[in-house]
């Protein structure tokens, strides 16, 4: 069975602080894919990143970075120098070989000025 745990329900930071969103996953498959999506107040899910199980390289995209560690089954997401526009619910998700996404419950991030 697949499972994604996002233990942080809500996080509140002040603008320009760095923040890390945790994601721990469970799967028996050797081939799988991990995703992060952003859901702003408007409601539409926005794709941020996809990572396959054979690629443990960390990735950086502007202020966003992702740390994938198979040894701890974690795929954490860090926002550097947070901005008010980063306020949203962030979902981590897991998929095996093209099937549907199994989402975590999400972490609500509030960035205040």
Partner 1 sequence: EAGVAQSPRYKIIEKRQSVAFWCNPISGHATLYWYQQILGQGPKLLIQFQNNGVVDDSQLPKDRFSAERLKGVDSTLKIQPAKLEDSAVYLCASSYLLANEQFFGPGTRLTVL
- Contact positions toward partner 1, by CB under 8 A? 4, 33, 35, 37, 42-47, 50, 52, 91, 93, 95, 97-106
Cα distances (Å, whole numbers) of residue 58 to 10, 15, 65, 85? 25, 24, 7, 24
- Please identify, using beta-carbon distances, which residue of 15 and 29 lies nearer to partner 1: 29
Quote the least distance from Cβ 96 to partner 1, whole Å: 9
- Please identify, using beta-carbon distances, which residue of 18 and 99 lies nearer to partner 1: 99
Quote the least distance from Cβ 65 to partner 1, whole Å: 18
Q: Which residue has the tokens 């799967």?
A: 27
SS3 31: coil
Tell which residue, 66, 9, 2, has the closest CA to residue 36: 66
- Please identify, using beta-carbon distances, which residue of 18 and 47 lies nearer to partner 1: 47
- Please identify, using beta-carbon distances, which residue of 33 and 66 lies nearer to partner 1: 33
| Separation CA 93–CA 17 (nearest Å) | 25
């Amino acid at each position: 069975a697949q499972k994604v745990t996002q233990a942080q329900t809500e996080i509140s930071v002040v603008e320009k602080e760095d923040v890390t969103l945790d994601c721990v996953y469970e799967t028996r498959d050797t081939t799988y894919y991990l995703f992060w999506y952003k859901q702003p107040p408007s409601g539409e899910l926005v794709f941020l990143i996809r990572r396959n199980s054979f690629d443990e390289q960390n990735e950086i995209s502007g202020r966003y970075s992702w740390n994938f560690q198979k040894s701890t089954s974690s795929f954490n997401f860090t926002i550097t120098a947070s901005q008010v526009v980063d306020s949203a619910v962030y979902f981590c998700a897991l998929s095996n070989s093209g099937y549907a996404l199994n989402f975590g419950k999400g972490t609500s991030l509030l960035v205040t000025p």
